[in-house]
Amino acid sequence: MQWYWIVLIVLGVLVLAFVIFMMTFGRKLQKQQAEAEKQMELNKRTEMILVIDKQKKKMTESGLPNSVIQQTPKYMRRMKMPIVKAKVGNQIMILVADNDVFEILPVKKTCTVSMSGIYITELKAVRGGSVPKIQKKKGWFARLKEKVAGAAKK
> Which pLDDT tens digit goes with each residue over 103-134?
889 999 999 999 998 899 999 988 877 777 76
Which of 25-39, 64-78, 122-136 is least confident? 122-136
Around Cβ 83, how many Cβ atoms within 10 Å? 21
Give the separation between CA 114 and CA 123, rounded to whole angstroms: 6
Band (78; pLDDT cuts 50, 70, 90): confident
Q: What angle do CA 20, 26, 30 make, to 5 degrees?
A: 150
Residue 23's pLDDT is what? 96
Q: pLDDT tens digit string along 85-96?
A: 999 989 999 999
Give the separation between CA 28 and CA 26, rounded to whole angstroms: 5
Is 104 in contact with 132 (CB distance < 8 Å)?
A: yes
Prediction pTM value: 0.69
